[in-house]
Amino acid sequence: MLKEFNENQKTDLIQKTAWRLVRSAEDRIVGQGRGPERLIWCVERMREEFPKAKNGEDYIRAAFVNYPNENRALFA
């Protein structure tokens, strides 16, 4: 799938997928203190979609850090 894209498009696609997965994890795995479970779920899904992506987990971690800010901006 990624062969059709140039390097910038690949990075953008992986980053958008990471954000989508983090939002999905927040909806699917509800409850305080379940962050590690959400992270594992996201990383596993990212590896399924992009098995050769080396920086997918980094994008997921960044999305988790920025998620509260994004969520506040949506409902402000």
Smallest Cα–Cα separation from 53: which of 19, 24, 13, 22?
13
Confidence (pTM) = 0.78
**Cβ of 61: how many Cβ atoms within 10 Å?**
15
**Amino acid 53: pLDDT:** 83
| Rounded Cα–Cα distance for residues 50 and 48 (Å) | 6
User: Per DSSP, which regions of the chain are E strands?
Assistant: none
φ, ψ for residue 55, nearest 5 deg: -110, 15
- Mean pLDDT, residues 39-48 taken together: 94
Confidence of residue 2 (pLDDT cuts 50, 70, 90): low
